[in-house]
Structure 1
Amino acid sequence: MAQPLTRERFAARLYDLRERYWDTHPFHLRLHSGGCTPPELRRWVANRWYYQLCLTRKNAAIIANCPLPEVRRSWVERLGYQDGPSPDAAGPDRPEQPGEGGLADWLVLAEAVGLDRAEVTDERHVARGVRFAVDGYLHFCQTRPWTEGVAAALTEMFSPDHMAQRVTAWRTHYEWIDPGGYAYFEHRIPTARRDSARTLELVLDHCVSAAQQQAAVDALAFKCEVLRAMLDAVDYGGDR
């Protein structure tokens, strides 16, 4: 039987998947170099909305599959981050802010690039390939062990630097974008740095057998393929 990797070697195997992250996709290279037209940039934003919608449901699926209360309590914070806080959380020290959350920030970005909220939320621009890839990711998290769903989320190890580069590139090459639209990235970058450290610790702590470690590596590889498939559809599929 294969022997499990040490904690350090297991972490290194996960980090090795960095080269499969979607920042090297031709569309992202063009997007960050200023080579995208306004309609192409808007298409990317409109299609990413469908992915944003999936995140709360996939995180809820991970929670539902997890038998450990301490993990569930930690992971549930992601639901409020994306959907915005519950009105029940409002109080004298924290008034209700219905426009908060990742979804709300993404709609602000959509408006900043020239999209109407209605055309984003009704999903008219979502390419079939994007829908198929995102639905596949959600199904994976609903049906696989919670540790694999968590491991798939480790793409957030690679995302903060990529998002920071995106903001810099967009400010340089796409001056027509309303700067207020960058709130999503400004909020998400520090959160992703914090979350990725916690997520890695969960995977290292709970994937201890060789089979569990390989499943975690495969889950992260699968997530990388999901993200790249989304860009394939955005790049080549257009609005068809």
Structure 2
Amino acid sequence: MNNGYSKKEFEMKLREMEYMYHLYHPFQQKMNSGNFTKRQMQGWVANRFYYQYTIPTKDLAIISNNPPIEHRRLWIQRVKTHIKPNGALDAWLDLGVAVGLSKDDLLSFKYVLPGVKFAIDAYLNYTKRSGWEESVASSLSEMFAIKLHKLRLDTWPLLYPWIDENALLYFKKRLNDTPKDNIHALDIVLNHFNTYELQKEVFKILKFKLDVLWTMLDYMYLAYELNKEPYFNIKNSNTKYLIE
């Protein structure tokens, strides 16, 4: 009987899934190369904010599914990190203002594309319905995030000098918080999913999360790169998602 991968092997195979991370999406790569227009940057920030706004709700859903108290105490720190004054959500609002949006624009979700919202809501609903260990496994996409945060901090001041460097505080915060979050989540997954059948499920769960992140950029690419926003071919449509 195959008792599953060792913890070291299991972690290695999870990390090998980085090739599906949205860092490699064409729309993300256009941003990383410095070729985003201001409108594209605004569109990305506005749509991504809906994801950021949903994260504390996702984390509360995990806690509501009754993990042991020691894990609840650690996991609640993620919520506090996001919603506290001058926390991650406030930092993202500041980024929105820096790229030319208002906080009201962001908080109204007026520019959030339906496909982006659908993908994010699917992820949130997954965490509400699943066991807390499975939901924790879905958070492992954060293993790949540090590289992207560092890249933005290193390159945006040169590539997008019109964005105030002080507005990049969100990415700086995540450089500090993400490693701690990753250690906790990975420890849970490596210890709980300790048979081959359970580990196979984790690969599926992580792929689902990577699909969510990739699909978000698919819809942004369609709208902001190909100029095919929802209902773009409907004459006199009053439904507008593109930022003027």
Deviation string 1:8-48 (CA, Å, 9 cap, x unpaired) is: 11111111111110000000100010111000001000001
Tell me by how many angstroms 1:2 deviates.
4.5
Q: In 2, distance between residues paired with 1:215 and 1:199?
A: 16
Q: 1:87 — aligned with what?
A: none
| Percent sequence identity over aligned pairs | 34
Deviation string 1:134-182 (CA, Å, 9 cap, x unpaired) is: 0000011111111111111111111011111012221111110011111
Q: 1:103 — aligned with what?
A: 89
Q: In 2, distance between residues paired with 1:106 and 1:158?
A: 20
Aligned length: 226
Q: In 1, distance between residues paired with 2:95 and 2:39?
A: 14
- SS of structure 1 residue aligned to 2:162: coil
Asked if 2 retains the 8 angstrom alpha-carbon contact of 1:83 and 1:102, the reply is yes
Q: Which amino acid aligns with 1:32?
A: N
Q: 1:236 — aligned with what?
A: 222
Q: 1:3 — aligned with what?
A: 3
Paired residue for 2:179, among 185, 193, 214? 193
Q: 2:234 — aligned with what?
A: none
Structure 2: 5+ residue stretches without partners: 225-240
Asked if 2 retains the 8 angstrom alpha-carbon contact of 1:81 and 1:102, the reply is yes
Asked if 2 retains the 8 angstrom alpha-carbon contact of 1:157 and 1:197, the reply is no
Relative to the length of structure 1, the TM-score reads 0.90
In the TM superposition, 1:79-228 aligns within 5 A as 79-84=79-84, 99-228=85-214
Deviation string 1:74-107 (CA, Å, 9 cap, x unpaired) is: 11111111111xxxxxxxxxxxxxx321111100
- SS of structure 1 residue aligned to 2:217: helix
Q: In 2, distance between residues paired with 1:225 and 1:181?
A: 28
Asked if 2 retains the 8 angstrom alpha-carbon contact of 1:148 and 1:219, the reply is yes
Query: Does residue 69 in structure 1 map to residue 55 in structure 2?
Result: no
- SS of structure 1 residue aligned to 2:101: coil
Asked if 2 retains the 8 angstrom alpha-carbon contact of 1:46 and 1:125, the reply is yes
Q: In 2, distance between residues paired with 1:144 and 1:104?
A: 29
Tell me by how many angstroms 1:67 deviates.
3.6
Asked if 2 retains the 8 angstrom alpha-carbon contact of 1:110 and 1:117, the reply is yes
Relative to the length of structure 2, the TM-score reads 0.89
Q: 2:237 — aligned with what?
A: none
Tell me by how many angstroms 1:4 deviates.
1.7
